[in-house]
């Protein structure tokens, strides 16, 4: 039986308490603008919805600067999900 401070919290569409009642998972809406991954990471890391362009540029720079990663990228995500 959960005994944490959130054990009596009822689940909503924005908050779901963990089984032990010590914490809850909060849902945050992120723009579906083809940068949702970068928006989500930016929010988790910096609590900002404005980091997506910066994070996208960091990843693009790293991929462009590494021939092995760039060559792997040509295979697409099919390879990633078929492993």
- Tokens of residue 52, six digits: 């997506």
More confident call, 12 vs 54? 54
- Angle in degrees, CA 61, 65, 66, rounded to 5: 125
* Cα separation, 68 vs 20, whole angstroms: 44
Task: Tell me the mean pLDDT in the region 16-32.
Answer: 82
Helix (H, G, I), strand (E, B) or coil at 19: coil
- pLDDT-based confidence at residue 76 (cuts at 50, 70, 90): low
61, 38: one domain: yes
pLDDT given at position 36: 87
Residue 83 lies in a domain: no
Task: Tell me the mean pLDDT in the region 27-35.
Answer: 84
- pLDDT-based confidence at residue 54 (cuts at 50, 70, 90): very high
- Tokens of residue 50, six digits: 């404005």
pLDDT at residue 50 greater than cutoff 50: yes
Q: Confirm whether pTM is higher than 0.75.
A: no
Q: Which residues pair with 17 in a beta bridge?
A: 24
35, 61: one domain: yes
Domain that holds residue 23: 1-28
18, 36: one domain: no
42, 62: one domain: yes
Split into its structural domains, the chain has a count of: 2
């Amino acid at each position: 039986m959960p005994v944490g401070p959130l054990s009596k919290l009822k689940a909503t569409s924005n908050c779901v308490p963990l089984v032990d009642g010590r914490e809850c998972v909060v849902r945050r809406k992120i723009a579906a603008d083809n940068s949702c991954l970068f928006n989500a990471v930016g929010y988790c890391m910096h609590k900002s919805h404005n980091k997506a362009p910066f994070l996208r540029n960091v990843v693009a720079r790293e991929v462009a600067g590494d021939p092995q990663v760039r060559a792997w990228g040509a295979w697409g995500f099919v390879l990633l999900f078929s492993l």
